[in-house]
Each structure stands twice: as structure tokens, then as C-alpha cells.
Chain A
Amino acid sequence: MTAAGASSDRFLAGVDASLPLAELGRVSTLGGRLAELRGRSVMLVTPDPFTAAIVLIELDGVARRVVLCPPDLSPAHFPQIVGEAGCDAWVGDPGTNLADLGVRTVVVPGLPVAMDLERRETQETEWILLTSGTTGAPKLVLHTLATLTNAFAGKERPAPQTVWSTFYDIRRFGGLQIFLRGLLGGSLVLSSPNESIVDFLTRAAAAGVTHISGTPSHWRKALISGAIARISPRQVRLSGEIADQAVLDALRRTFPGAIVAHAFASTEAGVGFEVRDGLAGFPAALVGAPDLPAEIDVAEGHLRLRSGGAGRCYLGTDTTPLKSADGFVDTGDRLERRGDRYHFMGRSGGIINVGGQKVHPEEVEAVINALPGVHISRVAARKNSITGAVVAAEVVRSTAAASREEIPNEELQRAILDACRKALAAHKVPASIRFVPTLEVGASGKLVRANA
């Protein structure tokens, strides 16, 4: 893939580097070692998204497979991912035990250098995206450029002055969509993990951003930053979390001339649909409607999507199928119908989305339940207007009379929080703990959850 028909003034901009899009495909960051990566399964672990963008274009059509590792991926997951994706090559800073993982080739990317490359595109490269799984370990979703560009394949080429940007990292599905759209028309301003939101908005404004995308949490941060009015986009897009009415209204007030759209998309299902009427949720009329980018179905209160943009499958041995027999992907998102509209109620299985970071209740319950003085706990999402949700715990104290007398509630609460902080990442620690007399256990022996 190249930046099709790139005129000389289209650009790709990172924090401190910029490249005319016409140069993509003619520059290399791999120091002439691209040929070594032909047909290989490559783990892409370069921290800087600008470099990652150039590497992706270099490798597409050459590597057999590329695993897009987001910058916050814990190295503890490397062995699992390398194993499941069969990676035998690595582009990024070398770690200490890559040889142990079976990685034979390591290329450390450098600055982009013009090369007289003859890039033969010999295969359809598999793009592997990561999404969170039930135990916190990532699941690997297999895409190709065909699936990843499915949602906008039929769309008109954007106007020449279009400048795309996104708060997302391009190695996540939402950011990758913007990156690929930008390659097809317009220019791109990439975000960077270490850049403050004020600096990013300032840089995007200077570049004349016209279309900008992020999660509701990104947008709330931007609204609090005081710098949001620096940009004058024509289109503001939200996806990745439930877009509540408050954030939609705040953005419409901030950008009165712009289209404010919220979209549903997931790494597995691809792009589902977009809503531009300024209201949270989506019209019930979309369900079963023809001529949409994805077919929409609601079954047992769950949103299901079918389109050519879904991932092909999961990689790895112990996984459920990505699609059901009829080709639909169950997104795991629960819906509630109110009148002629569906509203998003959160994830099934009780997965809690704290500002875009997923928490499985079971992993928090495991920590709490291990404490003396605790009989059982139930962890669930508590709605939050800053991050969408935070973690809340209900705890039943153990019945031993002695423990109840010796340890007051406040002290046990502190002990629970201390244990959670030691064992879990910050966003997984309960924001509130309530002691309750009982928790309902169903016939299956499992805790009854409000949101199965």
C-alpha cells in the first residue's frame, strides 16, 4: 500500500518529525534490511507511533504477518504473543531474551532514509491487533488491509485540505482506522504517548486539523485542558466507549459548526455504525436496515455486527470463535431499548471500562477474596462522568465472630484497598467499597451479576 496519488503537500506529522506522504514507500527506517523480513512474522514494538507508521507501510506486502504492539503493552505478555503469532522477527528495541522466544532477526528502526527500494509486494500481509482478554492477557485478532479498510472503501476521496488526527495510538483499532483513511486522502497528525494533551491540541491546531477522533475520555480530558478551542475541526468523532449525552452536548457547544459523530467499532467486529444526530445511543431503525457498512442485529440484548470489516479470526489455541455460524460478531455490548432508540448499558460479563482500560471483575474479586475477614465480594462498574465507569466493590465479611469484633469496617476497607493497590494496576482498584450482608449466588454456584 502506498499513499495513493499523494500530492506534494500531503504530510504525515509526528511530535518532532514530519514526512511528505509521497515519500512513504520510498523511505526506509529499517536500514536496508527489509529483505530479511520478507515472509516473516514480525513483532512491531517500536515506542514511537511515527516510526511505527513508516514501518507498517514498509512491511505491508512484504512481511507475512505484523503484530501491532501498543506502547503500553506490558513486556510480561511478549512470550504469549510471540508464541501465538509465531513471530520470528522483531522490529523495535531488543529485549534481553528474544532469542529464548525464538526470534531470530531483530531490526532496530532508525531515522527515515530515502532508499532506492524496489518494494515487491508479494503477499497479503496479516495485521494482528491486540485486544484485552478475560484474564488481562491480550487476545490476538487477525486482520488484513482489506478488512481494515472495508468501512471506507466506497467513500469519496476526502477534500485536499483534509487533515486527520486522533488522540488514539495508531496501533489500536480506532487510531489505525484514522491512519489508513489518511493514507487514502488528506494529511495526518499522529499523537504520541508522552505528549501532553495541551501540546497535542496545539500541534494539531497548527497543522489545521479538520477531522479528529478519540474516545469520550480523551474528549473530556481535552474539555478540561482549556486548550480545546485551539482546534477548529469540521468533524469531531467519538468511539471506543459509551458516548454519554453530557460529552456529546459539551462538544456540540464547543464546536457549533462541526459535525459531532459517535461511532461503534471494535477490534473484532470492525466499524459498526456512526450516529450524527447528536443523541446518545442509536436509532432502533438501524437494526436490520439495508445498505449500511455493517449489518446490525440485536439478540438477547446484545449488539451483533456482520461486515467485511470484522477480524478474520483470533490467533491462539484456547479461544472462542470470533464469529458465530451466521457470520455475526457478538460485540459483548448490552443494549436497552427506550422508545425508538437503543442505549448502551455496558459490557456483558461485567467487563468494566475505566477510561478505555478494561477490568474484569473476577481479577479484582480474586484479590479481595484472598483477604482474611472477607467471605465473598462482587465487583461491578459504577458509572462515572470522567472515565465512563470506575470499579466498585461489594464485600461480605466473613462470619467468624472474632474477626468482626477485632477488625472494624474502616480497617478492613483499608486492608482491601492496600491489597488491591499492591496486586493491581491503578484503574482496577475499587473507587468505593460497600459492606453488604449477603450476595446472591445462583443455581450454577456463580455470583448473580446485574449485567450478564
Chain B
Amino acid sequence: MPVRKTIEAHFEQVAREQHRQLGALTDDLELLHTGLDSLSFALIVARLEDSLGVDPFESVERFPVTFGDFVRLYESHSG
């Protein structure tokens, strides 16, 4: 499954579990406007580490601000 799809799946799963309304995951959607809190992001990052075997936040150059930034960050660390 492409990285983006995996990320979308985890965002949607965590949003469901945390009973949060997720906005449409477009590239320019700002992460703080996704409706997710820090805990939700922590869960997503933990599960992506399990799925993709990588946590790019350990040595991130620039923290992602939009969903597109987030996807690109993971894409640049995968494969």
C-alpha cells in the first residue's frame, strides 16, 4: 500500500477511536485543523512506526504543518 494510503488509514482509524471529526485529508489541510489532538498524533506516529518501520520525527529537520508536509516527511523516509 502506498505510504499516503497507509497514513490516511491511520488518521481515520485514530479519529474514529478518539471520537473526533476528521476533516477531508487534503495536502493543504493544516494538522492543527484536522480535529486531532497531540495524543491522537502520538498514536498515529506510534502505529505508523509499527506499519512502516520508521519514525521520521526522531530527527526531523522541519516539523510538518500541513497534511501534505506530513505525508512528504514519511515518503522521504520510506523505501
Contact = CB atoms under 8 A, between A and B. Distances in A.
A225 B46 CA distance: 20
Interface string A221-256: 101111000000000000000000010001001000
User: Chain A interface secondary structure, helix, strand, loop or mixed?
Assistant: helix
B25 interface: no
Contact of A385 (B30, B47, B58): B58
A197 B39 contact: no
A197 B65 CA distance: 13
Interface in B24-64: 30-32, 38-39, 41-43, 45-47, 50, 55, 57-64
A105 B65 CA distance: 49
Contacts of B57: 246, 385-386
Interface in A396-441: 417, 421, 426-427, 431-432
A246 B41 contact: no
A196 B35 CA distance: 12
Interface residue range, chain B: 20 to 34
Interface residue range, chain A: 20 to 34
Nearest to A382: B46
Q: Which of B17, B18, B42, B47 has the most CB of A within 10 A?
A: B42
A387 B55 CA distance: 13
Contacts of B31: 224
B12 to A, nearest CB: 16
A387 B47 contact: no
Contact of B32 (A224, A250, A390, A426): A224
A384 interface: yes
A426 B18 contact: yes
A426 B60 contact: no
A384 B30 contact: no
Nearest to A244: B58
Contacts of A196: 32
A387 B38 contact: yes
21 contacts: A224-B31, A224-B63, A226-B30, A226-B32, A246-B59, A250-B62, A250-B63, A355-B42, A382-B46, A384-B42, A384-B46, A385-B45, A385-B60, A387-B38, A387-B42, A390-B42, A390-B43, A390-B46, A417-B17, A431-B46, A432-B46
Q: Which 8 A-B pairs have the closest CB atoms?
A: A385-B57, A223-B63, A386-B42, A226-B65, A387-B42, A431-B46, A386-B41, A384-B42
Interface of B: 17-18, 30-32, 38-39, 41-43, 45-47, 50, 55, 57-65
